[in-house]
Amino acid sequence: MSSVKDDGEHLIQFLNSLYPLSKKIVSIARKETYHVFVKKNEVISCANSDEGDCVFIILKGLFRGFIIDEGKDITTLITDENHIVGHVRNPNTLKPIYEEKFQALEDSELLVLRYSFIDDLYVKYPEMNILARKLLAFHFHLSQERGILSRIPSAEARYNQFRAGNPTLKNRVPIKFLATYLGMRIETLSRIRKKEKLGSAA
């Protein structure tokens, strides 16, 4: 993973799409923003990176979150451009049962948001708390969607729900990762996709 200084424009555009930024925040963002380039298959860890405790905004590329349970690799998250990857800090500092890691599924470009920078903005600029609430609501919605997806009993229905909600992702994600994300065997997913192709060709 390599990083370069950024002019902050990507962050400014991203945040402005949620809530108009003041000139002071724009100026700070231009000074504090960094790009990170990640090669395909590389695993990143926000807490252990050279950038310190942080989250990343995906500018370009595709990522999965995953955990290891009894030696088994389980995909917990699949996300692409203009989404955030990283650990949400728990205010009660509870230690998670599983350590979630994040792997690039394509050569990717990320924007670093250090928590120290975010905390500083919260203190000095009250409008940042409005942005935080909007981001929290957005990611809570995504979390709800993942929770519902995991509880659909039919494997085919789970795949169809994922496909409907993520029409650009189904062909970008390797089948082995998509299968674990959807809670099914690779053979099952292959059958469902074959059925889908036959149906579309009919």
Structural domain of 175:
152-202
Computed over every residue of the chain, the mean pLDDT equals: 82
- Clarify whether residues 140 and 115 are in a common domain: yes
Over the stretch 73-82, which tens digit does the pLDDT of each residue have? 999 999 998 8
Domain count across the chain: 2
For residue 13, count other CB atoms closer than 10 A to its CB. Answer: 11
Q: Do residue 72 and residue 117 come from a single domain? A: yes
pTM, to two decimals: 0.79
If asked whether residues 122 and 161 sit together in one domain, one would say: no
Of 14-18, 83-87, 189-193, the poorest mean pLDDT is in 14-18
Question: Which pLDDT tens digit goes with each residue over 118-152?
Answer: 888 888 888 788 877 877 787 777 778 888 888 89
**124 and 159 co-located in one domain:** no
Percent of the chain with pLDDT over 90: 34
Q: pLDDT band for position 19 (50/70/90)?
A: confident
* 78 token code pair: 């699949």
Q: Which alpha helices (H) appear in 9-126, and where do they start and end? A: 9-16, 23-32, 115-124
Tell me: do 105 and 199 sit in the same domain.
Answer: no
| pLDDT-derived band at 92, boundaries 50, 70, 90 | low
**pLDDT value at position 156?**
95
